[in-house]
Amino acid sequence: MAEAAASSPRRRLESIRRHLLPRPPPVLSLNPLSAAEAGPSPVIIGGMVLDIYAKPSVPPHPGTTVPGMVKYIGGGVARNIAECMAKLGARPLMISVVGNDIAGDFLLKYWRSAGLCTDGILRVHDAATPVVSNVFDGSGELFAGVASVGAVENFLTPSWINQFYLHISTAPLLMLDANLPPQSLQAACKIAYESGVPVLFEPVSVAKSSRIAPIAEYITCTSPNEMELIAMANTLSAPGRYNFVKLEQCNNKTEAVDYLFKMLSPAMFFLLEKGIKLLLVTLGSNGVFICCKEHVNFMKVVSLTGAGDCLVGGVLSSLCGGLDIMQSVAVGIAIAKASVESEANIPDNFCGASIADEARRTLLSAKQIWCQ
């Protein structure tokens, strides 16, 4: 029974694997102490947040209320990625914090109902659960927002993280989001580095992406958007050395991608020279750049609209299930496409079989650019 349960990640991905073309071995080498078919869970450390979405039915006005709809949704970059991985069978261990309040009850109830482990989730009685409240305008664009995520910085300390030393040191991979305070990022990275566990860093925002500075030497992979990429490169070099100017009103997809490659490649290559093995640069509707130095030097461009957490979650769960990096990104993009049709951060109803055909189409449409 235990052996059958342990192999579930591979079984969940078999329907996808049959649709995808053979590819070379993955760029990332998972921790040899944790076999995909029998080993411990991947570890995800970062924010578990209650997202409150307020969508008015008429244009919002300052100083007064308007009719509309308010929804509570499980959020937080790390939490979103962990949920996405769980739906593909990876069963990650989530290390996070919530308060002893209604928001914490909501998040934990959902986590338990999904059959996920709560051992790594610290419940603090004198702290508020991280909450982000967003108000949107009539077109769906963000109008105003307030984030209260202090509990992550105050309570996800090195001492709490060190309690999970065995889980981290034997995990196939470790994913960190930049909501963690610098000292906690360093503590987790050192455990992983000493144990040969690949570390994936999610920058979260332009401001927080600078937290890569003290841990850059430990990072295996990172997944920024255009602005986060530039911010990380400038953090690790002379400020202002790299820049990014958006291309306005370009309807030609090929021209847009070529422009983005020309604009972003100096920063991408710089981060590779700093020791990062793999970059997944999300480009919104223009797709994804995958850039790496080891085994294969290539860029990959595919069509995608947002949903970065689904992209990363799909990639990580697929890597844990034995797919190579190209196949894994195709799976991540297929899930990301599904997510834009869902009001939840992670689509409620998806599985390997439901996204297999889309993953194959994505893989077949990939464009490779070889770099000297």
Q: pLDDT tens across 305-323, in order?
A: 335 677 777 777 777 777 7
Q: What percent of the chain has pLDDT over 70?
A: 77
pLDDT in tens, 226-236: 999 999 999 99
Quick one: residue 195, left, alpha or beta (phi over 0 = left, psi -120 to 50 = alpha)? Answer: alpha
Model confidence at 296: pLDDT above 80: no
pLDDT, residue 339, reads: 61
Q: Which residues of 30-66 are buried (b: 16+ CB within 10 A; e: fewer)?
A: bbeebebeebbbbbbbbbbbbbbbbbbeeebeeeeee
328-338 mean pLDDT: 73
Q: Tell me what the mean pLDDT of segment 188-205 comes to.
A: 94
Residue of higher predicted confidence among 302 and 20: 20
| CA nearest to 200, candidates 213, 211, 214, 189 | 189
Strand partners, 73: 51
Give me the pLDDT at residue 269, please.
Answer: 93
pLDDT, position 39: 59
**At 188, is the secondary structure helix, strand, or coil?**
helix
Model confidence pLDDT, tens digit, residues 3-40: 454 455 555 556 555 556 555 555 566 776 654 444 57
Q: Take residue 26 and report the two structure tokens written for it.
A: 């993955």
The sheet carrying 93-99 orders its strands as: 121-124, 93-99, 43-45, 174-177, 199-202, 221-222, 278-282, 288-292
> Residue 293: which pLDDT band, with cuts at 50, 70 and 90?
confident
Tell whether domain 41-46+77-98+115-121+152-371 is in CATH 3.40.1190.20. Answer: yes
pLDDT of residue 96: 97
**Cβ pair 204, 181 in contact under 8 A:** no
Across all residues in the chain, what is the average pLDDT?
81
Cβ(56)–Cβ(137) below 8 Å: yes
pLDDT in tens, 71-110: 999 999 999 999 988 888 788 999 999 999 999 999 999 9
Place of tokens 């060190």: 162
Tell me which residue has tokens 């077949």.
364
Using DSSP's 3-state secondary structure scheme, residue 175 falls into strand
| Beta strands 278-282; 199-202: pairing state | unpaired
**pLDDT given for residue 320 in this prediction:** 73
Answer yes or no: are the C-beta atoms of 173 and 45 closer than 8 Å. no
Percent of the chain exceeding pLDDT 90 equals: 44
Does residue 188 contact residue 167 with C-beta atoms inside 8 Å?
A: no
pLDDT at 276 exceeding the cut of 90: yes
- For the chain, the helix, strand and coil percentages under 3-state DSSP, each to the nearest 5: 40, 20, 40
- Helical residues (DSSP H) of 21-135, grouped into ranges: 77-87, 102-113
- Whether the per-residue pLDDT at 340 is higher than 60: the answer is no
**pTM (2 decimals)?**
0.78
Question: 369 falls in which pLDDT band (50, 70, 90)?
Answer: low
Q: Computed from CA positions of residues 359, 291, 277, 165, in that sequence, does the dihedral angle turn out positive or negative?
A: negative
pLDDT tens digits, 141-187: 778 888 898 999 999 999 999 999 999 999 999 999 999 999 999 99
213 phi, psi to nearest 5 deg: -50, -55
Q: Where are the alpha helices (DSSP H) in 196-252?
A: 226-235
Residue 205 has pLDDT above 60, yes or no: yes
Nearest residue to 366 (alpha-carbon basis) of 308, 305, 298: 298
Hey, which residues does 148 pair with through a beta bridge? 131
Q: What are the residues facing 147 on neighbouring strands?
A: 132
pLDDT at 15: 57
pLDDT interval class at 208 (50, 70, 90): very high
The radius of gyration of the chain's CA atoms, rounded to the nearest angstrom, is: 20
pLDDT of residue 170: 94
